[in-house]
Amino acid sequence: HSSEALTDPTSPYFEKPLEFARSQFNYYQCSECDRPYYGGLRRCQDVEREEPNKKDLICGGCSAGSASCARHGPSHLEWKCKYCCNTAVWFCWGTTHFCELCHSPPRKTVREECKGEEKCPLKGLHPPNGSEFAIGCSMCRSAAQEAATQQEQGNVAVSYTHLTLPTKRIV
């Protein structure tokens, strides 16, 4: 599937995929490892929002710190929304992970208090909202969900123990 902008001869991006990508996506240079990284869609960049501080521009690998998956490495880490306890599905401004609810207009940038272990989708196993936090490996989570489904159906289940969620509440 290619964009019409790349295949339409009248488009300024006709047969220019790199220029088209630069017009659609934000890329930043990590302040820790100096590698470039994807920082979100340009359309998500608030007009009134200032450019991020260069020291705050940290790629996923560096911001994950020691969080990693024994099987898949840091490439498939899932992140918690910076402002609530849901799993993030958006990465914007080169610095911030959002869940769908917090990302949708009007974008929420005020942190919500965790509702506690019983009501938190992450069982409270995360630092206070307002900070970036890797919650585990998406590949292992998918495999564990598949194994649970297989077990429920009476099939032989495969054990996946590589998930990197913390085992105690972080405060």
Could you give the CA distance from residue 119 to residue 122 in angstroms, rounded to a whole number? 9
**CA angle (164, 160, 148) in 5-degree steps:** 115
Write the single-letter amino acid at 7. T
* Catalytic site positions: 44, 92
Q: Which residues contact 118 (CB under 8 A, 6 or more apart)?
A: none
**Ordered alpha helix ranges (H), the chain:** 4-7, 17-24, 60-63, 100-103, 138-152
Could you give the CA distance from residue 63 to residue 131 in angstroms, rounded to a whole number? 11
Could you give the CA distance from residue 77 to residue 157 in angstroms, rounded to a whole number? 23
Give Cα separations from 110 to 13, 81, 107, 147 (angstroms).
38, 12, 9, 37
